[in-house]
């Protein structure tokens, strides 16, 4: 699913499909242990399973910070505009809250207006923090946070 996300929206992530396609199974397994992953599965007729999830997101607790980071969020093209993205955020936020986090933080590229607008509609606020990625054209991310208390 990560490779599909990188192929579909390469500008949304701080990596490339070429780089991650070279990962070994051990590297994928190690990545899977970082954070708590959530998949959004499409509704299907009773007794059947969809071939692939509609979306994915992870939550990474940041011990000592009081927060949790929303990372690796992606919704497949067929599910965009549905409730999938909001449901993924709700799942990560609920898990973060139950884990003791007081806020859910994220980084989004400044030029990704659609994502920024969506996050604001979900209740996220811009923090004023930025970070640069020189290897990406227009590579400035802005910090956003969602209070969980």
Residue 96 lies in a domain: yes
Residue 143 scores a pLDDT above 90 = yes
Residue 90 scores a pLDDT above 80 = yes
Mean pLDDT of the chain: 87
Distance CA(135)–CA(19), nearest Å, equals: 13
Residue 12 lies in a domain: yes
Lowest average pLDDT, out of 13-22, 23-32, 73-82, 135-144, goes to 13-22
Residue 45 lies in a domain: no
Range of the domain at 133: 2-38+50-147
Could you tell me the pLDDT band of residue 18, with boundaries at 50, 70 and 90? confident
Residue 44 lies in a domain: no
Instruction: Collect all residues with Cβ–Cβ distance below 8 Å to 51 and sequence separation of at least 6.
Output: none
Residue 105 scores a pLDDT above 90 = yes
pLDDT of residue 142: 95
Return the CATH number at 32. 3.40.630.30
Residue 102 lies in a domain: yes
pLDDT of residue 77: 87
Distance CA(120)–CA(144), nearest Å, equals: 9
Instruction: Collect all residues with Cβ–Cβ distance below 8 Å to 83 and sequence separation of at least 6.
Output: none
**Per-residue pLDDT tens digits for 30-56:** 877 778 889 898 877 777 777 788 998
Output the CA–CA distances (angstroms, integers) from residue 145 to 4, 29, 40, 67, 70, in the order listed.
Answer: 27, 28, 22, 9, 9
The sign of the CA dihedral 31, 35, 36, 38 is negative
Number of domains composing the chain: 1
Residue 43 lies in a domain: no
Residue 138 lies in a domain: yes
* Three-state secondary structure call for residue 105: strand
pLDDT of residue 28: 76
Where would I find the H helices in the chain? 2-8, 17-21, 25-32, 84-98, 113-121
Residue 14 scores a pLDDT above 90 = no
């Amino acid at each position: 699913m990560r490779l599909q996300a990188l192929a579909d929206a390469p500008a949304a992530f701080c990596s490339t499909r070429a780089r991650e396609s070279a990962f070994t199974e051990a590297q994928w397994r190690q990545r899977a242990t970082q954070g708590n992953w959530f998949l959004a599965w499409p509704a299907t007729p009773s007794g059947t399973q969809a071939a692939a999830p509609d979306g994915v997101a992870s939550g990474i607790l940041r011990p000592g910070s009081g927060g949790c980071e929303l990372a690796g969020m992606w919704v497949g093209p067929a599910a965009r505009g549905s409730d999938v993205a909001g449901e993924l955020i709700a799942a990560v936020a609920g898990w973060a809250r139950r884990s003791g986090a007081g806020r859910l933080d994220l980084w989004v590229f400044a030029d990704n207006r659609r994502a920024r607008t969506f996050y604001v509609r979900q209740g996220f606020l811009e923090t004023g923090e930025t970070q640069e990625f020189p290897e990406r054209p227009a590579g400035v991310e802005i910090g956003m946070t969602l209070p969980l208390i």
